[in-house]
């Protein structure tokens, strides 16, 4: 920059000081996204619904109502409960699993330390089995015809034989076991131990146990049959870990914004995607198993917890204990949810390459809309589906660079924004030697620039 001189006018100075290298391309599209996902219905069930499991023989989703000692049954495509199965008072059901060989649903009764068995189409449980303290998650081992039950109150796993519905073994695992999944590729059962930050791995050949240390508050598991991987939510680390079953090692950590608290999750076998309930954000995040990156968010409302997948309809069910309801998402192409739209934000560097891992958060939304938060994937984009129509302001952060963009969502529409952020090497001068624009600078750089302008204007005034 030249020194301030009498021949330079104020407009010329300001033009030099505020040269902008930031470009925002904003477009609204009335068409749907090619792979959109959104809320299709909200179904009222019992009190404090938690675990869910899909029964393919009956074509129905079973929902454990922890606060009302019952199980709601929702038929495929229905928007209301088909029937309700009552359990003994004090059962406080929590988790469920389906035994495909017997056509039975096993329910962990957390409050009574039993497992109830409901046959397809039955209006009451056929029997109950005494297990350990506070049974939580369950999983069906199709090779052995056995049910594995995590007893969260006594650090054990009970094994039930479905041939006679009795406990045939009790295995000691790490502290506070919760979620359980069976991996038929290696004939092993994976158990998340929330109290010890471990995953216990049980061989169904001899019931031997190996332990894998994972992140903080390892609470839920899901098995990806296409990739032979286990997905594990670590609530206090705001991360989902990907575990390869070939060597039982963590191969990837999918990180979420601080305070997200990823909780329940389920695998969508048709789309090759993992749906994760972000309990503290009111969202369901979608992870692509081809890249193990977050590719989209869906707004579902406060405190979502368990997630289950219905392969018959391509629907994802999300329990909402705070509202005694189950939220249904469709993974069908072209669906953005009734009365909602989508926002897609793409963040690019000055050379046109996508920026991976940029944070995109909402700073203003319609009154009843849950705040939006997500990170860009490998293509530099993040999509928020199932959002309410109205005006939004989004803040993008990539390292020390920030920018904001405003957009408007219409019902059934997709609002797309492309943000180009100039790179900024140390010293604050954008690449290529040109003077930088405000959107590409840190807060400290902007503040220093404002002070500099004020000082120069005062000097100019004194010279005049």
Place of tokens 């999918």: 254
pLDDT in tens, 241-252: 999 999 999 999
Residues 123 and 179 in one domain: yes
Q: Are residues 258 and 210 in the same domain?
A: yes
Mean pLDDT for all residues in the chain: 84
* Range scoring the smallest mean pLDDT among 10-14, 39-43, 253-257, 344-348: 10-14
Lowest mean pLDDT among 25-39, 353-367, 443-457: 25-39
Number of separate domains in the chain: 2
Least confident of 100-109, 182-191, 342-351, 420-429: 420-429
CA atoms of 108 and 51, how far apart (whole Å): 9
Burial 4-25 (b: 16+ CB within 10 A, else e): eeeeeeeeebeeeeeeebbebe
Q: What is the pLDDT of residue 454?
A: 66
Q: In this structure, are 65 and 17 located in the same domain?
A: no
Q: In angstroms, rounded to a whole number, what is the distance separating the alpha carbons of residues 325 and 376? A: 31
Is the pLDDT at 200 greater than 70? The verdict is: yes
| CA neighbours closer than 13 Å in the CB half-sphere of residue 270 | 13
Residues 361-381: tens digit of each pLDDT: 889 987 656 678 788 888 899
Please check whether residues 288 and 367 belong to one and the same domain.
Answer: no
The token duo for 150 is 């995590």
What pLDDT is attached to residue 147?
A: 98
Residues 321 and 357 in one domain: no
Beta strands 198-203 and 188-193 are: antiparallel
- φ, ψ at 367 (rounded to 5°): -55, -40
Are 187 and 248 in the same domain?
yes
Q: Which residues of 418-454 are buried (b: 16+ CB within 10 A; e: fewer)?
A: bbbbbbbeeeeebeeeeebbebbbeeeeeeebeeeee
Which has the higher per-residue pLDDT, 67 or 359? 67
- Residue 421's pLDDT is 82
- Spatial separation of the C-alpha atoms in residues 55 and 272, rounded to whole Å: 20
- Higher-confidence residue: 437 or 307? 307
Last residue of a domain, one of 262, 297, 330: 330
What pLDDT does 296 receive? 80
Express as a percent the part of the chain with pLDDT over 70: 80
Let me know if residue 464 belongs to a domain. Answer: no
Q: What confidence tier does 318 reach under pLDDT thresholds 50, 70, 90? A: very high
Sorted by sequence, the CB contacts under 8 Å of residue 236 that are 6+ apart come out as 215, 216, 217, 261
Question: With contact defined as beta carbons under 8 Å apart, do 364 and 392 qualify?
Answer: yes
Residue scoring higher pLDDT (170 or 372): 170
* pLDDT value, residue 367: 63
Question: Is residue 370 domain-shared with residue 350, that is, in the same domain?
Answer: yes
Shared-domain flag, residues 44 and 23: no
Q: How far apart (Å, rounded) are the C-alpha atoms in residues 240 and 262? A: 7
Query: Sign of the C-alpha dihedral, residues 163, 165, 169, 172?
Result: positive
By the 8 A CB rule, do 47 and 66 touch?
yes
- Count how many Cα atoms sit within 13 Å of the Cα of residue 48 in the half-sphere of its side chain: 8
Helix axes 10-17, 443-463, angle to 10 degrees: 170
Name which residue leads in pLDDT, 277 or 333: 277
The pLDDT tens digits for 380-439 are 999 887 677 889 999 999 988 889 999 998 877 889 998 888 754 333 333 333 333 333
Give the mean pLDDT of 140-147: 97
In terms of Cα–Cα distance, which of 419, 356, 397 is closest to 26?
419
**Domain hosting residue 382, numbered range:** 10-34+341-428+433-440
Instruction: Inform me whether the pLDDT recorded for 460 exceeds 80.
Output: no
Of the spans 32-41, 324-333, 420-429, which averages the highest pLDDT? 324-333
- When pLDDT is averaged across residues 7-27 and rounded to a whole number, the result is 37
Q: What distance in Å separates the CA atoms of residue 263 and residue 137, rounded to the nearest whole number? A: 13
Rounded average pLDDT over 183-211: 97
Among candidate residues 306, 330, 354, the one where a domain is terminated: 330
Domain membership flag for residue 197? yes
Q: pTM value?
A: 0.69
Q: Give the end of a domain, one of 273, 305, 330.
A: 330
Between CA 208 and CA 233 the distance in angstroms is 24
pLDDT at 37: 53
Cα 232–103–231 angle (5° rounding)?
A: 10
């Amino acid at each position: 920059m030249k020194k301030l001189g009498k021949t330079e006018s104020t407009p010329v100075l300001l033009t030099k000081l505020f040269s902008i290298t930031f470009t925002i391309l904003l477009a609204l599209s009335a068409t749907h996204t090619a792979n959109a996902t959104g809320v299709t219905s909200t179904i009222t069930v019992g009190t404090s619904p938690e675990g869910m499991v899909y029964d393919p023989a009956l074509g129905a989703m079973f929902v454990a109502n922890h606060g009302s000692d019952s199980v709601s049954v929702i038929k495929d495509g229905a928007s209301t409960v088909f029937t309700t199965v009552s359990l003994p008072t004090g059962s406080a059901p929590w988790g469920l699993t389906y035994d495909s060989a017997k056509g039975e649903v096993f329910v962990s009764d957390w409050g009574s330390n039993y497992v109830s068995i409901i046959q397809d189409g039955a209006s009451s449980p056929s029997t109950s089995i005494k297990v350990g303290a506070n049974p939580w998650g369950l999983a069906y081992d199709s090779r052995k015809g056995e049910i594995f039950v995590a007893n969260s109150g006594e650090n054990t796993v009970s094994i039930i034989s479905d041939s006679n519905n009795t406990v045939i073994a009790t295995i000691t695992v790490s502290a506070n076991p919760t979620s359980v999944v069976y991996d038929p590729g290696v004939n092993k059962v994976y158990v998340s131990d929330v109290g010890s930050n471990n995953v216990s791995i049980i061989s169904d050949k001899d019931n031997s146990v190996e332990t894998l240390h994972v992140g903080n508050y390892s609470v839920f598991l899901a098995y990806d049959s296409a990739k032979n991987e286990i997905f594990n939510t670590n609530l206090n680390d705001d991360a989902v870990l990907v575990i390869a079953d070939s060597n039982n090692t963590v191969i990837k950590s999918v990180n979420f914004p601080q305070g997200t608290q990823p909780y329940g999750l389920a695998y969508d076998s048709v789309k090759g995607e993992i749906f994760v309930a972000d309990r503290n954000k009111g969202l369901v995040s979608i992870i692509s198993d081809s890249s193990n990156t977050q590719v989209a968010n869906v707004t579902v409302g406060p405190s979502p917890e368990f997630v289950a997948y219905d392969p018959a309809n391509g629907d994802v069910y999300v329990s909402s204990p705070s509202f005694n309801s189950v939220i249904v998402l469709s993974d069908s192409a072209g669906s953005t949810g009734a009365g909602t739209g989508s926002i897609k934000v793409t963040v690019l560097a000055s050379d046109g390459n996508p920026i991976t891992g940029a944070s995109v958060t909402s700073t203003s939304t319609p009154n009843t809309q849950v705040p939006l938060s997500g990170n860009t994937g490998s293509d530099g984009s993040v999509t928020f589906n199932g959002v309410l129509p109205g005006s939004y302001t989004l803040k993008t952060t990539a390292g020390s660079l920030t920018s904001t963009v405003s957009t408007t969502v219409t019902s059934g529409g997709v609002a797309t924004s492309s943000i180009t952020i100039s790179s900024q090497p140390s010293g604050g001068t954008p690449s290529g030697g040109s003077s930088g624009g405000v959107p590409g600078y840190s807060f400290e750089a902007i503040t220093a620039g404002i002070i500099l302008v004020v000082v120069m204007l005062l000097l100019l005034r004194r010279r005049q």
